[in-house]
Chain A
Amino acid sequence: MGKTIAEKIFDSHLIDNPHGDMHIIRLDAVFCHEITTPMAINDLLQRGKDKVFDPDKIKVVIDHVSPAKDSKTAQQGKILRDWTRRHQIPDFFDIGRNGVCHALFPEKGFVRPGFTITMGDSHTCTYGAFGVFSPGVGTTDTEVAILKGICAFRYPKTIKIDISGRLKAGVFAKDVILHIIGQIGVNGATDKVIEFAGPVVDEMDMAARMTLCNMAVEAGGTCGICYPDMHTVDYLWPYIQAEYSSKEAALAAFQPLASDPDADYEAVITIDVSELSPMVTHGNQPDRVKPVEEMQGTVVDQVYIGSCTNGRIEDLQAAASALGKNKISPRVRAILSPATPETYQKALDQGLIKIFMDAGFCVTNPTCGACLGMSNGVLAEGEVCASTTNRNFNGRMGKGGRIHLMSPATAAATAVAGHIANSSLYRKDK
């Protein structure tokens, strides 16, 4: 029997099987942010175990509330800052160099096909785009990961989603993943890895694959995962060129990770996306999805473009083309938060920031901020937000606020219309 990509990675990192289905694996990297790690640091201090397993394998960012908005968030940042100094952790991204973790860490070259990575953040599953086994974990798991470089998991079972067909113009990875979550439900992949494969995924760039894998957890998935290919090599090339004689050599090293043809899956789901139209959520679970056409006209108060799902340069490009020279509706306020400083810089260089600002967008620094209702765009009771983020839970962006999840292009078109609307990039008949 062959193995899935998740099984291959898992097996090569296995260090113990203490009981039944629980396995202890070695971690190649441990990522940390200021919301879930400070409690782990404090607990280690209290236990007299203020140590780290390997300062070079721990990567740290302040991203959720940045710059600090009050003394409590300032304190969280300080705990992280002091800790990275104390343990001489070289890769610490403080204000000015910081961005949304799951966009920043790949951009810094910290992920590799075949890696195991954990972080105290449910969207750690994003790195699966690179062929990484990267489940989100809690604070105690982070604490042990920091101390020992290990984590416990059940043996990974996989659901394969084979995506075929050809996406219409104006239909994006976000629409595909919303559609998939709508099909399998918020509980559809609980405790399972979602493997994304097929010709549509093969054609996707890394940004699109990150959007797919990012939302695996919204279907309950342990993580999403894609096979490494030339797109992966191209993206990582600046960071790996010293290790491989050529891109082909790197590809040859990564390709054996792909699932074997006779691998065993929990389920294989085949979807054809040729007829898929832009999607949007309604209600307050991410599996409540409808085509934008059916929600057309739903009035919104705020539009938010950003986050680890859709705050990358490719997302800003799509949103800017959907905006064109239009201005946002006077009844709407619109916020753009480029996910990282590099994205922000590129957007400036490419003239995108000007397009957003001319349209009437407020452009904020890179931060999670409004995505989890922390800062920079919290909703008031009864307000509606069109958002490129990943969770439409009740109260997520502010108590009593309602969220509709959509692609950056749809969000931009919605900002212009003042109500949910398809972008002009979408061609129904082609």
Chain B
Amino acid sequence: MKSFNGKVLFLDRSDINTDEIIPAKYLTEISKEALKPHLLEDLSLEEFDPQTDHADKNVILSRSNFGCGSSREHAPWALEVNDINLVIAASFARIFRQNMYNNGMMAMELPPETIDRLFSSFSGAETTLETNLHEQVFIFRTADREECVSFDLSGFDRELVEAGGWVEYADSKY
């Protein structure tokens, strides 16, 4: 199973699309590793520097409709090869969300009020996140604060996460 812990990258915008996560010109790559240097290269977000800002991060926190646009699975793969296996947002585009779980990664929706609160209490501070899959809680931590937020992982998504993705699951079951 993949790791869902680590430092949090705050992307304070809605409708971040898959062209921004990984531009189409890299879709000619046939290895996931080759996508690594290009993650979030075209993201329109003030003061975001794709060269440095996601370097040591493992979790993304964002707003609504994350991953809209193209169906390219290169978007989750570009995250995966950069050790980001978890995106938390107010909502996701359907295909992106499914692609994440299909790779044994997580795309977790939290209520918009919770997302608002997390942004206002943590963005700007160095924040780490610990995921307790068993209890279904995220623990956000900074040097001086801690907050627990519960989440709801559906039975199907849990099986995909535990199986490491849809291919293994489907092949063993159907």
Contact = CB atoms under 8 A, between A and B. Distances in A.
Interface of A: 15-16, 18-22, 24, 35-36, 38-39, 42-43, 47, 49, 64-65, 70, 72-73, 75-76, 79, 120-122, 124, 135-141, 143-144, 147-148, 150, 152, 186-187, 190-191, 220, 222, 284-285, 372-374, 391, 393-396, 399
Given A140-B165, A190-B94, A393 B69 contact: yes
B102 interface: yes
Contacts of B42: 394-395, 399
Nearest to B30: A38
B102 A138 contact: yes
A16 B95 contact: no
B162 to A, nearest CB: 12
A43 B167 contact: yes
Contact of B68 (A38, A70, A186): A186
Interface in B1-36: 14-15, 17, 19-20, 23-25, 27-30, 32
Interface of B: 14-15, 17, 19-20, 23-25, 27-30, 32, 42, 44, 64-65, 68-73, 76, 91-95, 98-99, 102-103, 154-156, 159, 165-167, 170-171, 173-174
B65 A138 contact: no
Given A18-B173, A21-B154, 10 more contacts: A22-B155, A72-B30, A138-B102, A141-B98, A141-B99, A187-B14, A373-B24, A374-B24, A396-B19, A399-B42
Nearest to A192: B94
Contact of A137 (B14, B98, B174): B98
Nearest to A72: B28
A79 B30 contact: yes
Contacts of A42: 30
A19 B161 CA distance: 14
Nearest to A398: B25
B65 A190 contact: yes
B20 to A, nearest CB: 7
Contacts of B165: 140
A39 B30 contact: yes
B171 A147 contact: yes
A22 B156 contact: yes
A220 B65 contact: yes
A24 B20 contact: no
Contacts of A150: 170, 174
28 contacts: A20-B155, A35-B28, A35-B72, A36-B72, A39-B73, A42-B30, A65-B28, A72-B29, A121-B71, A136-B71, A138-B73, A140-B166, A147-B170, A150-B174, A152-B98, A187-B15, A187-B64, A190-B65, A190-B68, A190-B92, A190-B93, A191-B94, A372-B24, A373-B24, A391-B19, A393-B69, A395-B42, A399-B23
A120 B156 contact: no
A189 to B, nearest CB: 10
A395 B73 contact: no
Given A20-B155, A120-B71, A150-B170, A220 B93 contact: yes
Nearest to B165: A140
B96 to A, nearest CB: 8
A42 B31 CA distance: 9
B5 to A, nearest CB: 24
Contacts of A121: 71
Contact of B71 (A20, A64, A137, A399): A137
A255 to B, nearest CB: 29
B24 A19 contact: no
A20 B170 contact: no
A405 to B, nearest CB: 14
Given A36-B71, A122-B69, A396-B19, A20 B156 contact: yes
Contact of B98 (A65, A138, A372, A374): A138
A136 B68 CA distance: 12
A101 to B, nearest CB: 12
B170 to A, nearest CB: 5
B73 A139 contact: yes
B166 A141 contact: yes
Given A16-B174, A122-B95, A150-B170, A140 B73 contact: yes
Given A22-B154, A399-B42, A138 B99 contact: yes
Nearest to A38: B30
A38 B30 CA distance: 7
A306 to B, nearest CB: 16
B167 A47 contact: yes
Contacts of A191: 94
